[in-house]
Structure 1
């Protein structure tokens, strides 16, 4: 299985061992419930039009490493307001934005700390996206 992220010009291959942590924590139905002036229950429901969270993370410190170079590319994309990307996950393409509003677009820490890190050094990361389709 391949896992990629692309802006249409640059494609970044992500470690396929990153897993979709919140895959089943989202439902397609949006619902608003309130009471009318008479006390009657008023329920409005509809199908959500995007906004599904996709959080990709490693299972443990022994899996799903990314390079500092990959993190630099992710940071460059995250620094562009409204940057839409295509996330290819399990054979399905999702148009996504970084989730800046929900804990930041990602968390990253070096697998091993070096005083003078190189672009090829390994990083453990959690990536946060939201669908816009």
Structure 2
């Protein structure tokens, strides 16, 4: 497992840090645009276009190719414990474009915020067993 302190999740209140795999990367990072548009037509047929800039809500789906973004069961348990705290916000630091990027996020609990699949099945999992993970976050304003 390739991990270091560059890719991590930090609770903004408690400063608790969970070190993640540097192989985790936001999938579909270029699919979201901060500009949102709405169009409608006036009674005379004129098209009316309204545009605005979203203030937050960019999805961050952090995952890696199978076998690359693995985390231990202990780390997955720590992530689940943070996910289950009402109103928790985090700094997500990850590697991209040759630098460490930082965004303020919350777990996206509108669906499955954490998906963890064991690399090898076990009837008695250990805290050192490894899991392929997908983590889902929503960007929030960093005020």
Among residues 17, 33, 42, which one is paired with 2:23 in the alignment? 17
Aligned in 2, Cα 1:32/1:58: closer, same or farther, shift over 3 Å? Answer: same
Deviations along 1:7-53, one digit per CA (max 9) or x if unpaired, are 04210110001121111111121111122333321111122111111
Q: Which residue of 1 aligns with 2:107?
A: 98
Distance 2:130 2:124 in 1: 13
Equivalent runs, 1:71-90 vs 2, <5 Å: 71-90=76-95
Cα distance between partner residues in 2 of 1:49 and 1:93? 16
User: How far apart, CA to CA, are the structure 1 residues paired with 2:24 and 2:128?
Assistant: 18
Please name the residue that 2:9 is paired with: 5
The 4+ residue runs of structure 1 with deviation greater than 4 A are none
Matched, 1:131 2:139: yes
Unaligned runs of 5+ in 2: none
Q: Which structure has more strand as a fraction of its residues?
A: 2
Residue segments in structure 1 that go unaligned for 5+ positions in a row: none
Residues 112-127 of structure 1 mapped to structure 2, 5 A cutoff: 112-127=120-135
* Structure 2 residue matching 1:88: 3-state secondary structure: strand
**Secondary structure, in 3 states, of the residue corresponding to 2:8?**
strand
Q: How far has the Cα of 1:123 moved from its partner?
A: 0.7
**Residues paired across the two proteins, number:** 131
**CA offsets 1:58-98 (integer angstroms, 9 cap, x no match):** 212x2111011111111111112331111012322111011
